[in-house]
Amino acid sequence: MDNPALAAATADSGAVLPVYILDKDSGPKLGEAQYWWLHHSLSALSDDLKKQQHKLCLKKGKALEILDDLVQKHDISAIYWNRCYEPQVIERDKIIFQYFKDKGLTVKSFNGSLLNEPWQVKTKADEYYKVFTAYWKACMKQMPPPSLVDVERWPSAIEAESEHLADWKLLPSKPDWASGFADVWQVGEKAAHERLEAFLCDGLDDYDTARDIPGRPGTSRLSPHLHFGEISPRQIWLALQQALEDDAMMSRSSAERFQTELGWREFCYSLLYYFPRLDEQNFNAKFDGFPWQDDDEALRCWQKGQTGYPIVDAGMRELWQSGYMHNRVRMIVASFLTKDLLIPWQKGAEWFYSTLLDADLANNSAGWQWTAGSGADAAPYFRIFNPITQSQRFDPNGEYIKRWLPELADVPVKYIHAPWQAPEGLRPLDYVDPIVDHGAARKTALMAYEQLK
């Protein structure tokens, strides 16, 4: 456990009341798929607290009103929480902070989910960083060695009336589109740490190269756990250092690469903090004049995984069925949406947000702007992925494609990346033709980009 708010609360008080508030209006934004994760995560947390003779209090509604009610009913004198960084949540929490402070309560917030707070990493000119490498260099130079805080002694429990998790109906029922999730994911703090251990053991050494091969389990798959706070980046950082000490043969470049990915997460949080409209507004204002096409039909093809490009469609099916998509494929499908289809990146970000279990406002928004070319330290617009070349390079045997597109099971490897080029007899019958010609689409995109200058 690495929960500074809880650690401080248990250390300071004679009794604590752990509470989770589902605040749909002004709390952290939840994607549709994430309600499934939230259900299981709260269930696991509740079980863990039970083992300490504590009861998790569940409440739904406006956070301020709920807290105010609990404070009065249970004679509460202090409120502690770990900070969230979504702009609207920052605003909400500022109000809550002041409200209870004025009432004479002790109110404290803590850093539970970042290695560095956004305001701790600034340039010499006191500006926030807009280039990742400079940002990360500064972090590595100044970053304090992370330390974990744990509950040392559980004080007595305050029992409050709790709503029932089942009544919240967070799980989808008809239809149960989450049926595939449980095959792939185990939710909760314990599962998160088992995942980390497994990755450090089997995945880290080869991370540098395997991370790009979607057919292989080369990534950590920790992102949903990180998002929901089931594991902290500090825990990951320290475990990584430990693994390096324990195994002198461990690949340095792989470990550093993985650290850098945590760095990107922090960079995204910093961008969102200083550019609060990152999820809707072009970071680079030049892109405000970009001639995007609002093609709903093409958008639907992309969402359903029916573009005719196997690597794109496999990714979109993986997303729909498992609530996740491999990072390499995220870049490919995002490039396809914004450059081959010229659909605004916000539409892609929205779809990702509603379908990803790891949907995260900072990461998702920054990632989409990065691909679209409008972001901070973004890929230049003319860097257009070729879905066929990418497929050949990173899924050479079509393993990933065949896993998610069963209708291509019998297509020979030679044609798996571009089945429309197969001779008549080998062409799959129940697979669509490409909705655009990549070569032509690329030229159109470059012409559209010219208009920005």
Partner DNA sequence: TGAAATGTTGGGGCG
Partner DNA sequence: ACGCCCCAACATTTC
Which entry of 36, 237, 368, 370 is annotated as an active-site residue?
Answer: 368
Q: Which residues contact 449 (CB under 8 A, 6 or more apart)?
A: 290, 373, 381, 382
Whether 36 is catalytic? no
- In the complex with DNA, the residue whose CB is nearer, 70 or 334, is 334
Query: Is 369 near DNA (CB under 7 A)?
Result: no
Query: Is 384 near DNA (CB under 7 A)?
Result: yes
Residues touching DNA: how many (CB under 7 A)?
Answer: 22
Name which position in 379, 422, 448, 452 contacts DNA (CB under 7 A): 379
Contact 70, 76 (CB under 8 A): yes
Amino acid in the structure at residue 429: L
Name which position in 127, 167, 439, 453 contacts DNA (CB under 7 A): 439
* Residue where the block lists tokens 């807290």: 67
Least distance (Å) from DNA to the CB of residue 416? 16
Query: Is 82 near DNA (CB under 7 A)?
Result: no
Chain centroid offset of residue 144 CA = 25
Query: Is 383 near DNA (CB under 7 A)?
Result: yes
Any idea what the Cα angle at residue 130 is, between residues 378 and 332, rounded to 5°?
20
Least distance (Å) from DNA to the CB of residue 328? 7
Whether 404 is catalytic? no
Name which position in 186, 209, 389, 421 contacts DNA (CB under 7 A): 389
- Of residues 262-301, which lie at the interface with DNA (CB under 7 A)? 264
Least distance (Å) from DNA to the CB of residue 324? 17
Whether 368 is catalytic? yes
Which pair of tokens denotes residue 434?
């490409």
Least distance (Å) from DNA to the CB of residue 65? 41
Query: Is 20 near DNA (CB under 7 A)?
Result: no
Query: Is 345 near DNA (CB under 7 A)?
Result: no
Name which position in 385, 400, 404, 415 contacts DNA (CB under 7 A): 385
Query: Is 251 near DNA (CB under 7 A)?
Result: no
Which entry of 264, 284, 386, 407 is annotated as an active-site residue?
Answer: 264
- Of residues 296-335, which lie at the interface with DNA (CB under 7 A)? 327-328, 331
Whether 261 is catalytic? yes
Whether 327 is catalytic? yes
Which one, of 177, 179, 165, 153, lies nearest residue 53 by Cα?
Answer: 153
Whether 292 is catalytic? yes
- In the complex with DNA, the residue whose CB is nearer, 9 or 272, is 272
Query: Is 453 near DNA (CB under 7 A)?
Result: no
Which entry of 32, 163, 261, 350 is annotated as an active-site residue?
Answer: 261
Q: Which region, judged by CB under 7 A, interacts with DNA, from 42-50, 145-153, 307-315, 386-394?
A: 386-394
Least distance (Å) from DNA to the CB of residue 382? 4
CA–CA gap between residue 220 and residue 198 (Å, rounded) = 9
Which pair of tokens denotes residue 422?
């197969």
Query: Is 390 near DNA (CB under 7 A)?
Result: yes
Q: Which region, judged by CB under 7 A, interacts with DNA, from 136-144, 153-161, 346-354, 376-384?
A: 376-384
- Of residues 114-133, which lie at the interface with DNA (CB under 7 A)? 132
CA–CA gap between residue 405 and residue 296 (Å, rounded) = 23
Name which position in 393, 413, 426, 440 contacts DNA (CB under 7 A): 393
Query: Is 175 near DNA (CB under 7 A)?
Result: no
Query: Is 135 near DNA (CB under 7 A)?
Result: no
- In the complex with DNA, the residue whose CB is nearer, 48 or 261, is 261
Query: Is 386 near DNA (CB under 7 A)?
Result: yes
Which spans of this chain sit near DNA (rule: CB under 7 A)? 132, 261, 264, 327-328, 331, 370, 379-380, 382-386, 389-390, 393, 438-439, 442, 446, 450
> Which of the residues are catalytic?
261, 264, 292, 327, 345, 368
